[in-house]
C-alpha cells in the first residue's frame, strides 16, 4: 500500500518527499473516519440484535426504522456539558479517555484486509497488536484513580486485575498459531491458511475457544463486565465522566470489539482467505486484479459473524462474581492454554 501511495504522487508529478512525510497521516485519518462510522453501526447493530433476541423493538423512532438513533446519541453526547469533579486530578482525568481510546485506533492499521491491503505490514504484527492493545489498561487505571471516587477506583482495579489475568491465556493461545504458521506477520498467517481445511481452528480448537473467552474479558463484555457493574459500582471507572469523555470509553470498546474479532478471524479462521481456496473474481480475466475486494469481503463476513456471536453471548449469559472470574482464568484457562500449546507443538512436529 505504501508503494501504491508513492506511485500516486509520481503520477501527479508531486515531490516524493511529500508522499513520504504525509504517508503516516493518510492511513491514520482514514482509519479514524472508518472507525467512527463502524462504531456507530456496531452500536445500532447490537441494540437491534439484542432487541431481536429478547423480543423487544429496539431503536425505531429516529430515522427510518431507527437507523439514525446512534447518530442522534453521538450528537447529544457531543453537546453535553463536560464536568470535572472539584477534587479530581484534572490532567489525568482529561487524558485517561484518550489513552484508553488511542490504542484501539492504532491497531486498525495492522489488520490485513487483503493480501495487499494492510497499512502496517510488520513482521511482528501479532506481537505489536497485543502490546499496543495492552496500553489501554493504563487509561482505565488513570480514569479510576484521577476521578477521586471510590466506585471508580474499585472499577479500575477490577479492570486491571481482570485484564492481567486473561492476558496470559490469550497470549498463549495466540502463540499456538505462531507455532503452526512459523511467523508473527498477520498477513502471512492469513495467507498461509488457504481453504477451510487449512484453518488453524482445527489443530488449535481449544486455543480458539480460549482466545474468544479472553477477548470477552479484555473487552469487559458479558459475562465479564464486572469493572462497570451498575448494581455494585454505579458505573465503575467512568462514573464521574460525562459528554465526549464518557463517549470515548464506549467508542474505544466497540472499536476494540471489531479489532479483536478481526484478529480471531485472522488467527484461527483463515483471515481474508476464501473458505473454498480460490476466489471468484480471480477466475474472471478482466477484474482479477481487484481480487482484494473479495478478500476484504471474506474477512468482514467472518468478523461480523464473530461479533454477532459475542452479542449473542451478552443476551444469554449472566454476569460472573469477581472470585469466579479470577478463579476461572488462573485455575482453568491458564492450564488449558499450556496444554493446548503443548498439543499444537506436538502436532506441528509430527504432522505439520
How many other CB atoms sit within 10 Å of the CB of residue 37?
10
Residue 178: per-residue pLDDT: 95
- Eight-class DSSP state of 117: B
For every residue of 237-262, DSSP letters joined together read GGTT--HHHHHHHHHHHHHHHHHHHH
Which ranges of the chain have pLDDT less than 50? none
What distances in angstroms separate CA 274 from CA 153, 222, 259, 280, one per listed residue?
46, 31, 20, 9
Residue 200: per-residue pLDDT: 94
The whole-angstrom separation of Cα 67 and Cα 46 is 12
Residues contacting 185, CB < 8 A, separation 6+? 121, 122, 123, 124, 125, 126
* CA nearest neighbour of 204 among 168, 171, 179, 167: 179
Residue 9: per-residue pLDDT: 64
What distances in angstroms separate CA 335 from CA 72, 160, 210, 338, 347, one per listed residue?
46, 21, 11, 5, 18
* pTM to 2 decimal places: 0.91
Cell of 259: 479489532
Residues contacting 85, CB < 8 A, separation 6+? 93, 147, 148, 149, 240
Residue 151: per-residue pLDDT: 85
pLDDT in tens, 293-352: 889 999 999 999 999 999 999 998 888 887 888 899 999 999 999 999 999 999 999 986
**Angle 327-328-333 from CA coordinates, rounded to 5°:** 125
Amino acid at each position: 500500500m505504501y508503494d501504491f501511495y508513492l506511485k500516486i504522487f509520481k503520477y501527479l508529478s508531486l515531490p516524493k518527499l511529500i508522499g513520504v512525510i504525509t504517508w503516516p497521516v493518510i492511513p491514520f485519518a482514514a482509519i479514524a473516519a472508518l472507525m467512527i462510522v463502524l462504531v456507530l453501526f456496531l452500536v445500532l447493530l447490537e441494540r437491534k440484535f439484542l432487541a431481536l433476541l429478547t423480543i423487544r423493538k429496539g431503536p425505531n423512532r429516529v430515522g427510518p426504522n431507527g437507523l439514525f438513533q446512534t447518530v442522534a446519541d453521538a450528537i447529544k453526547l457531543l453537546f453535553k456539558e463536560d464536568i470535572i469533579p472539584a477534587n479530581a486530578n484534572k490532567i489525568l482525568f482529561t487524558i485517561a479517555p484518550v489513552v484508553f481510546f488511542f490504542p484501539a485506533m492504532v491497531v486498525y492499521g495492522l489488520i490485513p484486509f487483503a493480501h495487499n491491503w494492510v497499512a502496517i505490514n510488520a513482521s511482528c504484527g501479532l506481537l505489536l497488536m497485543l502490546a499496543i492493545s495492552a496500553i489501554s489498561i493504563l487509561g482505565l487505571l488513570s480514569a479510576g484513580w484521577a476521578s477521586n471516587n471510590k466506585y471508580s477506583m474499585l472499577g479500575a482495579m477490577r479492570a486491571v486485575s481482570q485484564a492481567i489475568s486473561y492476558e496470559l491465556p490469550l497470549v498463549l493461545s495466540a502463540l499456538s498459531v505462531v507455532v503452526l504458521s512459523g511467523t508473527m506477520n498477520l498477513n502471512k498467517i492469513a495467507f498461509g491458511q488457504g481453504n477451510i481445511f487449512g484453518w488453524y481452528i482445527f489443530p488449535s480448537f481449544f486455543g480458539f475457544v480460549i482466545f474468544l473467552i479472553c477477548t470477552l474479558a479484555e473487552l469487559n463484555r458479558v459475562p465479564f463486565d464486572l469493572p462497570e457493574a451498575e448494581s455494585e459500582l454505579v458505573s465503575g471507572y467512568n462514573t464521574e465522566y460525562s459528554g465526549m469523555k464518557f463517549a470515548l470509553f464506549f467508542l474505544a470498546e466497540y472499536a476494540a470489539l471489531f479489532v479483536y474479532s478481526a484478529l480471531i478471524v485472522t488467527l484461527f479462521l483463515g483471515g481474508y482467505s476464501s473458505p473454498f481456496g480460490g476466489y471468484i473474481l480471480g477466475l474472471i480475466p478482466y477484474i482479477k486484479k481487484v481480487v482484494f475486494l473479495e478478500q476484504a469481503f471474506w474477512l468482514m463476513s467472518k468478523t461480523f459473524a464473530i461479533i454477532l456471536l459475542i452479542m449473542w453471548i451478552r443476551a444469554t449469559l449472566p454476569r460472573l462474581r469477581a472470585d469466579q472470574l479470577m478463579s476461572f482464568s488462573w485455575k482453568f484457562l491458564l492450564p488449558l492454554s499450556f496444554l493446548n500449546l503443548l498439543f499444537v507443538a506436538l502436532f506441528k512436529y509430527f504432522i505439520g
